[in-house]
Structure 1
Amino acid sequence: MFERFSTDARNVVIDAQKEARALKSPQIGPEHLVLGLLSVPAEPVRGILADSGIALAKARVTVAEQGTALSDADADALGSIGIDLDAVRHSLEQTFGKGILDPEPPSGPRGWFGRKSGHIPFTKDAKKAIELSLREALARKDDHIGAEHVLLGVLRVADGTAREILEVQVGVDELRRRVHAALDRAA
């Protein structure tokens, strides 16, 4: 299937892995694919996302906030009963070593497309989004899978954080309509 991916589509997946790694996420989810789509300057995707008010910087913040185990409100609530999270972290690091609470860096064999950089596994929904990108391309009778097909796949599984990122000004159904309209114009 991956041989049918355009350069832009491959770069979306590679950038999704980079984004997940930068955010210290243990897995690549649909939200990371959205970050990858925002990172790769592929048209018509770039224009559709920009026109829909979806920006990379804000999306990164949203993903980072969702990936935090405890929110600031949680820390404040624990602080109100005398639990200082910074003190707990400091104590654990003194006992077990610096970074003990940080996620383990990914390890293992070569990652996507044979790049040796530590593979981060895809979530079930991210795998489904990539599979659906192939189905979207086949349904349109396109001979390749482009970034726009990846976006269509993500829009079909968008839930939680991915949906929050995507639904800034319009819903996912409207985004799907816009992508299909752009593909129809290009055909």
Structure 2
Amino acid sequence: MFERFTGDARAVVTGAVARAERGDAPAVTDEHLLLSLLDLPGGRTWLALRSLGVLGRREALESALVDARRRGGMTKADEEALAGIGIDVGRIVASVEAVHGEGALAQDRPDRRRRDGHRPFTAGAKGVLEGSLRIALGRRDRTIGAEHILLALTARPGAVAEVLADHGATYASVERAMYGTQNDGSPQVG
């Protein structure tokens, strides 16, 4: 699949690996993919994220990702569902952190890197990359670009998509910003 990636998509993936290495994370996550994508200058994705105001709210976006990590990757929807049955996630996080230290639920599992030193991709990150392939195929594109990775990040349920949506980047808004759409939902030709 990697051979179908454009230069910018490869830059996103290699940037995500570099971010994981700098943060000494045991694996590359979908969050690493997003942060690497935000670092990619120019191009369709950068213009879309800028037009949606996401780049201007990067600090808030990163803070929201940290909060999600503190909750063990749990989305706000998960938290609300648990609250509906009387479970206060905030209290649980506070209790765990009181005993084990701040960010205890955000701690990655022990380092499971392969012997060759490469960091594996989490199931979530692999799902994003597979989703980018499906999106490219659905759009009848011959290559997989950074724009497909961004769309896949917004489409895959979880904390990253929720944080993006909270900052105005849903699948529909990103697609509209990158491609424009007509009333029937098909891409505009032009």
Confirm or deny: 8 A CA contact 1:8 1:146 kept in the other structure: yes
Moved more, 138-147 or 59-68: 59-68
In the alignment, which residue of structure 2 is the partner of 1:164?
A: 163
How many matched pairs?
A: 162
Report the more deviating stretch, 132-141 or 163-172: 163-172
Calculate the aligned-residue CA RMSD, in Å: 3.5
Which AA in structure 2 matches 1:18?
A
Contact 2:34 2:153 in 1 (8 A): yes
Cα deviation per residue 1:103-141 (whole Å; 9 max; x = unaligned)?
75664355xxxxxxx322222221111111111112222
Identity of aligned residues (%): 30
Which protein has the larger Cα radius of gyration, Structure 1 or Structure 2? 1
Letter in 2 for 1:74: A
Structure 2 partner of 1:126: 125
Q: Which residue in the other structure is 1:137 paired with?
A: 136
The TM-score normalised by the length of structure 2 is: 0.66
Q: TM-score, normalized by length of structure 1?
A: 0.67
- Which residue identity lines up with residue 135 of structure 1 in the other structure? R
Find the residue that maps to 2:180 and give its secondary structure.
helix
* CA spacing shift, 1:154–1:186, aligned 2, 3 Å: farther
Provide the secondary structure at the position in 2 that maps to 1:44: helix
Structure 2 match to 1:22 = 22
Q: Which runs of 5+ in 2 are unaligned?
A: 73-89, 182-186
Runs of 4+ in structure 1 over 6 Å off: none
**Matches of 1:67 and 1:23, distance apart in 2:** 14
Provide the C-alpha distance between the structure 2 equivalents of 1:149 and 1:85, rounded to a whole number of angstroms: 38
1:146 matched to 2:145? The reply is: yes
